[in-house]
Structure 1
Amino acid sequence: MTLSTVRPAVRVGGFSSVLRIGALLTVIAMIAVLFGLFALDIALGEFRIPIGRVLDVLGGGGTRAQRFVIMDSRLPRALTAVVVGAALGLAGAVTQSILRNPLASPDLLGITSGASCGAVAVLVGMGGIATGTGAVLGVSAAALVGGLLTAVVIYLLAWGRTTTGDGGVMGFRLVLIGIGVNAALLSVVNWLLTRATLTDAAHAQQWLTGSLNAADWSTLIPASVGLGLALIVTAGSARTLAILRFGTDTTRILGVRMQTQQAILIAAAVSCAALATAAVGPMGFVGLAAPQIARRLLRTAGEPLIASALAGAIAVVGADLLARTVFPVSLPVGVVTAAVGGPFLLYLLVRTNRKATL
């Protein structure tokens, strides 16, 4: 290795890191793409507003009608799309990094279904009585509890003896159990819908498609809390998360309490995904695809956290823009993400199978 290939180091106080110019430029480009899609998502609609006017209104200018359309109607929806996408992308990156499996996303592991089960139980049980902030908080709490309980059940069922003979969670077994639990919880959700009244079932079904149509400032709160919590935990455990990617033996040699750190990080990822799901409903395949796309863009060995969050935000905002402007009728965002994410899942399965046979 020549001196010209050595990457420069950045030191701020006790913090030090290697500066990767290519990765930094890619992240900056992703931020620019996200901002552009965010501005377009606000500007386009039945009442179109030039992007320059959108920026003027966000800065405090514009007419009263423009401020109403942007600040009260479109801005909460666009911000919710950004936060929910970033939360799902970050949750997917954490789970895939810990389990070292590209299929270990919150939706395939059953976490999203557990959150959906809790939320639908509340939506059906309230009978349409609760509205506004009270309803949002009730659905958010139920989704969080449902997601956490599902994670605990999957974690306990996946516990067993590792290759070294010690007790621990085996990643591949956790994925298989998560897929089974996911199928069971989807059956519970369908059963709840059959027991509901026509009005409650229609409300719950609209939520289950992953729609931003009802997004407002109150729905933005739980998703923001989940994303903020996950960012704090992952920022404090960034070094530990990087070590966990090396496997059981290396992790223990370096003195990391593997099971404790896994439990903390998984709890943060589950809370993040559950609260994001509570805000707008399940968004299929965002948590699965975003980390893998970010990993390929940055060419890193593991799933990059910040880039995964940006990729998730870009995916959801872009899907919302497509759902509202391209198709003859406005579609739920979850339909678009599922339509794109399904083929991506098949790609990952084929790629994983080819690696296993080489």
Structure 2
Amino acid sequence: MTRALVLRAGRLSLRASGRAVVVDAILACVLLGCVTLALMLGSRVLSPGEVLAALAPGADATDRLVVLEWRAPRALAAALFGACLGLSGAIFQSLTRNPLGSPDVIGLSAGSYTGVVCVLSLGGAGYLALATGAVVGGLATALTVYLLAFRRGMHGFRLIIVGIAISAMLSSVNRWFSVKADLDVALQVAVWGAGTLNNVEWLPLSYSAMAALALVLVLPAAGRRMRQLELGDDTAGMLGLSVERTKILLVVLGTALTAVVTAITGPVAFIALAAPQIARRLTGHGSVDLTGAALTGAVLLSTSDLIAQHAISGVVLPVGAVTVCLGGGYLVWLLVRESKNS
């Protein structure tokens, strides 16, 4: 029997298994280690003590510049965006009740990508313009997929099939934009579309962090509704849940979490797909585990970014190229495992 921990603060209470708490604590420590390594490694290698000294007032100007201005935004962005993707994947996998139900697969990442490509093609620039394009593109795609998949209710398998078709169409549109656009715009779209954390700066990162914080504040209520939905639509309805309205709200929430990332990094594959499933296996949760998914996603993207920066000497790869390679192997393993179980 799994021991459970119950934390209470006034009328609020949180129940978690002992195993989940231990695993989440380990993941948090691993994440802290990844962020520390990201601050230490580079053309100028620093020790942990030098990193801490650079964060203190009166630090060496060069070390402070390297740590705070060059490395810290990228390291924190990897952790934040990995967490957002992990949460988004958990929402959609719970909604579709399918391990393939992630924003990558059902077309939402491609929709956000299309929105940003349209903005770039029209001459837009800056974080706010790209963020607007990502949000509008993602929500428009989510609405299209939802309406096409809706038949007396929204069913997970139909949503995935429709999403795959929409994703293929949008990928063709994105390639067409790249071919028809001016050379400078096409190069910008190609670099951004690879999924990259290069040149992440404090100002757009702060905007993304505020948007992510606002979305995270909704997650406790969303988590309770997701657990009710996992009991089945009929049972959830009997418990007083407005099923279709809840599904729409969850789609909007998951899409917004994806758009927060896509606006800065471009489409980053694999994280949203793998993080929730890995978290479930680590924590032993049979239902949705938002905390574990967020921490796992943060660790996966932070690790991938370390590989992208330092795997090849003198070459900084787009982080999306690393996650695609890892994701391909994971997807093959997942498909083989699911076929054996069936």
Q: Could you say which residue in structure 2 is the equivalent of 1:163?
A: none
Take 1:8 and 1:297, find their aligned partners in 2: how far apart are those partners?
17
CA contact (8 A) 2:5 2:18 kept: no
Take 2:190 and 2:14, find their aligned partners in 1: how far apart are those partners?
47
Aligned residue pairs total: 341
Q: Could you say which residue in structure 2 is the equivalent of 1:137?
A: 128
Take 1:294 and 1:61, find their aligned partners in 2: how far apart are those partners?
41
Take 1:87 and 1:220, find their aligned partners in 2: how far apart are those partners?
13
Q: Could you say which residue in structure 1 is the equivalent of 2:53?
A: 56
Quote the offset at 1:215 in angstroms.
Answer: 0.8
Task: In structure 2, list runs of 5 or more residues that go unmatched.
Answer: none
Take 1:108 and 1:119, find their aligned partners in 2: how far apart are those partners?
19
Q: Could you say which residue in structure 1 is the equivalent of 2:284?
A: 299
CA contact (8 A) 1:110 1:179 kept: yes
1:219 equivalent to 2:204? Answer yes
Take 1:223 and 1:303, find their aligned partners in 2: how far apart are those partners?
24
Q: Give the AA of the match of 1:208.
A: G
SS of structure 2 residue aligned to 1:105? coil
What is the correspondence of 1:96-115 to structure 2 with a 5 Å cutoff?
96-115=93-112
Structure 2 length-normalised TM: 0.95
Q: Could you say which residue in structure 2 is the equivalent of 1:258?
A: 243
Q: Against the structure 1 CA distance between its residues 212 and 344, is the aligned structure 2 distance closer, same or farther, given a 3 Å change threshold?
A: same
CA contact (8 A) 1:87 1:226 kept: no
Q: Give the AA of the match of 1:159.
A: F
CA contact (8 A) 1:222 1:279 kept: no
SS of structure 1 residue aligned to 2:217? helix
1:340 equivalent to 2:340? Answer no
What is the Cα-based RMSD across aligned positions, in Å?
1.6
CA contact (8 A) 1:230 1:268 kept: yes
Quote the offset at 1:74 in angstroms.
Answer: 0.8
Q: Give the AA of the match of 1:47.
A: R
Take 1:51 and 1:246, find their aligned partners in 2: how far apart are those partners?
48
Take 1:218 and 1:194, find their aligned partners in 2: how far apart are those partners?
31
Q: Against the structure 1 CA distance between its residues 61 and 307, is the aligned structure 2 distance closer, same or farther, given a 3 Å change threshold?
A: farther
Q: Could you say which residue in structure 1 is the equivalent of 2:78?
A: 81
Q: Against the structure 1 CA distance between its residues 303 and 9, is the aligned structure 2 distance closer, same or farther, given a 3 Å change threshold?
A: closer
Cα deviations across residues 207-240 of structure 1 (Å, max 9, x unaligned)? 0011111211133134324422331221223221
Structure 1 length-normalised TM: 0.91
Q: Could you say which residue in structure 2 is the equivalent of 1:229?
A: 214
Quote the offset at 1:19 in angstroms.
Answer: 4.1
SS of structure 1 residue aligned to 2:166? helix
Q: Give the AA of the match of 2:43.
A: E
Q: Could you say which residue in structure 2 is the equivalent of 1:146?
A: 137
Q: Could you say which residue in structure 2 is the equivalent of 1:349?
A: 335
CA contact (8 A) 2:19 2:284 kept: no
Quote the offset at 1:11 in angstroms.
Answer: 3.1
Quote the offset at 1:124 in angstroms.
Answer: 2.3
Identity of counterpart residues, as a percentage?
Answer: 37
Quote the offset at 1:206 in angstroms.
Answer: 0.3
Task: In structure 1, list runs of 5 or more residues that go unmatched.
Answer: 161-166
Take 2:29 and 2:264, find their aligned partners in 1: how far apart are those partners?
25
What is the correspondence of 1:268-287 to structure 2 with a 5 Å cutoff?
268-287=253-272
Cα deviations across residues 287-328 of structure 1 (Å, max 9, x unaligned)? 000111111110100231011111111111111111111223
Q: Against the structure 1 CA distance between its residues 221 and 8, is the aligned structure 2 distance closer, same or farther, given a 3 Å change threshold?
A: closer
Bigger shift: 211-220 or 137-146? 211-220
Q: Against the structure 1 CA distance between its residues 140 and 7, is the aligned structure 2 distance closer, same or farther, given a 3 Å change threshold?
A: closer
Cα deviations across residues 46-94 of structure 1 (Å, max 9, x unaligned)? 1111122112222435200111111111111111111111111110011
Quote the offset at 1:262 in angstroms.
Answer: 1.1
Take 2:205 and 2:3, find their aligned partners in 1: how far apart are those partners?
43
Q: Could you say which residue in structure 2 is the equivalent of 1:317?
A: 302
